[in-house]
Every structure is written in C-alpha cells, then in structure tokens.
C-alpha cells in the first residue's frame, strides 16, 4: 500500500508519528523513534537519508524538520545525529541504524545544523551519496547570535528543555535550587558583550577600539558565505536549497511549498496546516483529525533574546554587511538583512 494512494488517512497517522519524531514535545517522544530494532519487513527498512537539513543553527532548522515530517512521504529521526561532523568514525551502518524505518516510496531526512560549519562534512556527504539534496535555512546573522546566546545561557542555567523533560520531579527541584544558588553567585555564562567583542588597546592619539570577536563560534556561524563556499566546492548550487528563516516564521506554508518542490514531493503541506498562536508568537501546527491536538514547537524555540546596546548591534551589522552581500551574490537571493 503506497502512502500516495491514501494521502488523508496516511497523513493523519503520519502526523502523530511525525510530531513524535521531530518535535521534542516530551521526554518520551524525544528518543522514541531512534530505537535500533530491526527492520519490520523487507520493504519497511532503515535507509540512509537522501536529503539533509545542514543548518544554520538557530535559524529554524527544527521548525523546518517538524513541518516537513507532516508529509506522509517523509521520515526523519527526532534527535540530531551529528554523523558527518562528530560521529563519522562510527561508519555508515551506525548512521543508517539511527534512521527511522521507511517505505521505499518515502524520503528519509536528517537535520544536524553543525554540518554547515564543518569543513569535513561536504566531502563526507558527497561520498555517501553525491545526489544528496541539501537544505540550508538562514536568518539575519545578528539575530542568530542573540538566539544562540539565549540558548547557551538557558543551557548554562539548567539544561535544555529536552533534558528538563527527562528528569523527574526530585531532580528538577534540586536543579531549581542550584539555579537559585547560581543566580546568587551571578550569571553562569559571560555577558554577551564580552563574548561578541574584544577591545584593542589604542596607542597615544588613538582611543581603545572595540572590535567584533570573529573567532567566537556564534559570530563565525553567521559568516554564511564562507561556509557555503565549502559546500559549493563539492555540490552544484542547484542541489542546495537556501531558505529564509524570517520567511519560515512569517509564512511557513510558502516555505514548505518551496521545500516540497525541491524535494520532489507531492504538494501536501500548505498554509492550511498552520495557525498563528498568539501566546507562542509563532505559527503552530493545526490539529490532525478530531482527536488530534494543535502543536507548537517546544518552549526552547522562540526564547527571549538578550538586550544588546544599539551601538553594538550596529557594529555587528557593519561586520556582517559585506559578508552578507557576498552570500546574496553566491545564492542569488537577497535576504535584505539590515546593514545599520
């Protein structure tokens, strides 16, 4: 039975599985799809991914995966597998076992934003399969830094939401206590100003200069042109879909249509699958069927960003302006990120 023959029925069943697979809503869902049990039968088997969401971190990679997983012809593991950047030595068979079982008609996808900035990943992906379709979602690199910092400080203060969900009440209370103690001692992560900038001492007539810390990973990730060049050295441009994270937030239906076309999928996920959730401040998935519940992404998506003085924001924008223009030229897409 092909899922294409029963799109509605299959979609209802699949929607539940997809949310479990791709949205870290609860502890039980986070790792549920990754068991390494054997294939159920010869046609329903674990397969290497034919498409990857390679990055960029904090640009909407989870939303993109969660939304495309609503498609009946897509399967993906929930957690990031980090095969091409951290686990390559484990071999392709290890990687394949991390994939959920799929039908031959389905597309297996994986997302690990770390791939985008890994220098080894492009050739490794190519040697797995030179036809792998690559998806890159990017957002204004300055906002991306703020988002990255918000995540790092949340993690430093007590762990990611997935970990939080996994722990029992007793451990939760203990952590709350530790967090209170840490709060008393002061922040557990350096202020963003001192991570994103460093001062260069002035000489005589020249005052001290504040310059962007280009080596800080959060700054480095936003140098999109530099990382994309590594991928374009190995893959043709048309094999890489570059999407706007800002557009994904504003109009997920339109972005999903673009993604489905690129992946050669039947156009099933459209704007009709989303509603804007005022409390969350983002689009969420509409309920599937009579008993389904509407689902928003977990609370670790859409965090409050730190405040950075307008002058420092301006300096970051100046730092990125020429790099962004280079990226627009490379991709043929003007993302229109502010330069001042």
Size of the site for ligand A3P (CB under 6 A): 17
Using the rule CB under 6 A, is 61 a contact of ligand A3P? yes
278 annotated binding-site participant: no
Q: Are 197 and 215 in contact (CB under 8 A)?
A: no
Using the rule CB under 6 A, is 79 a contact of ligand A3P? no
Q: Which residues of 65-75 are buried (b: 16+ CB within 10 A; e: fewer)?
A: bbbbbbbbbbb
Nearest CA-CA partner of 201 in 192, 214, 193, 210: 210
293 annotated binding-site participant: no
202 annotated binding-site participant: no
CB atoms within 10 A of CB 166: 15
199 annotated binding-site participant: no
Residue written as tokens 């924008």?
317
x/- string (CB under 6 A) for ligand A3P, residues 178-217?
----------------------------------------
Nearer to ligand A3P, 56 or 101 (CB): 56
162 annotated binding-site participant: no
Using the rule CB under 6 A, is 62 a contact of ligand A3P? yes
Using the rule CB under 6 A, is 108 a contact of ligand A3P? no
SS3 133: strand
What gap in Å lies between CA 312 and CA 338, rounded to an integer? Answer: 14
x/- string (CB under 6 A) for ligand A3P, residues 288-307?
---------x---xxx----
> How far is residue 80 CA from its own chain's centroid?
9
Q: Please give the structure tokens belonging to residue 246.
A: 């800002």
- Output the DSSP codes for 176-193: HHHHHHHHHH--SS--HH
Using the rule CB under 6 A, is 248 a contact of ligand A3P? yes
Which of 75, 102, 112, 147 binds ligand A3P (CB under 6 A)? It is 147
Among 52-60, 118-126, 189-197, 325-333, the segment contacting ligand A3P (CB under 6 A): 52-60
Using the rule CB under 6 A, is 141 a contact of ligand A3P? no
Q: Are 339 and 317 in contact (CB under 8 A)?
A: yes
Which of 59, 108, 118, 161 binds ligand A3P (CB under 6 A)? It is 59
Is 58 an active-site residue?
yes
Nearer to ligand A3P, 104 or 338 (CB): 338
Using the rule CB under 6 A, is 283 a contact of ligand A3P? yes
Using the rule CB under 6 A, is 58 a contact of ligand A3P? yes
Q: Using the 8-state DSSP alphabet, how is residue 73 labeled?
A: T
Nearer to ligand A3P, 273 or 301 (CB): 301
- Output the DSSP codes for 236-279: -GGGEEEEEHHHHHH-HHHHHHHHHHHHT--S---GGGEEEETT
User: Which residue of the set 57, 58, 286, 293 is catalytic?
Assistant: 58
**Angle subtended at Cα 129 by Cα 126 and Cα 130, rounded to the nearest 5 degrees:** 55
86-89 contacts: CB < 8 A, separation 24 or more? 86/114, 88/120, 88/124
Residues that bind ligand A3P (CB under 6 A): 57-63, 113, 147, 248-249, 282-283, 297, 301-303
* Residues flagged as binding site for 3'-phosphoadenylyl sulfate: 58-62, 139, 147, 301-305
Q: Give the residue numbers marked as catalytic.
A: 58
């Amino acid at each position: 039975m092909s899922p294409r023959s029963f799109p509605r029925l299959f979609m209802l069943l699949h929607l539940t599985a997809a949310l479990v697979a791709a949205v870290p809503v609860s502890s039980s869902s986070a790792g549920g799809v990754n068991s390494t049990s054997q294939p159920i039968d010869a046609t329903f088997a674990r397969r290497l991914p034919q498409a990857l969401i390679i990055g960029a971190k904090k640009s909407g990679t989870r939303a993109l995966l969660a939304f495309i997983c609503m498609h009946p012809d897509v399967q993906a593991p929930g957690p990031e597998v980090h095969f091409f950047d951290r686990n390559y030595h484990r071999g392709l068979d290890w990687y394949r076992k991390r994939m959920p079982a799929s039908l031959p008609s389905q597309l297996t996808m994986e997302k690990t934003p770390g791939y985008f900035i890994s220098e080894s990943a492009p050739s490794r992906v190519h040697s797995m399969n030179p036809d792998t379709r690559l998806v890159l979602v990017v957002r204004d690199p300055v906002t991306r830094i703020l988002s990255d910092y918000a995540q790092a400080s949340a993690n430093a203060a007590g762990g990611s939401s997935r970990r939080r969900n996994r722990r029992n009440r007793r451990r939760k209370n203990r952590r709350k206590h530790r967090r209170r103690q840490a709060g008393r001692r002061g922040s557990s992560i350096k202020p963003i100003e001192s991570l994103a900038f460093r001062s260069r001492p002035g000489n005589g007539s020249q005052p001290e200069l504040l310059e962007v810390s280009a080596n800080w990973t959060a700054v480095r990730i936003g140098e999109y042109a530099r990382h994309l060049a590594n991928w374009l050295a190995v893959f043709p441009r048309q094999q890489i879909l570059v999407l706007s994270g800002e557009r994904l937030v504003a109009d997920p239906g339109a972005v999903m249509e673009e993604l489905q076309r690129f992946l050669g999928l039947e156009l099933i996920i459209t704007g009709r699958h989303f509603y804007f959730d005022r409390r969350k401040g983002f689009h969420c998935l509409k309920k599937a069927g009579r008993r389904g519940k509407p689902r928003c992404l977990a609370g670790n998506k859409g965090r409050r960003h730190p405040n950075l003085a307008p002058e420092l924001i301006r300096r970051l924008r100046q730092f990125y302006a020429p790099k962004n223009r280079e990226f627009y030229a490379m991709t043929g897409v003007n993302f229109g990120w502010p330069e001042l």
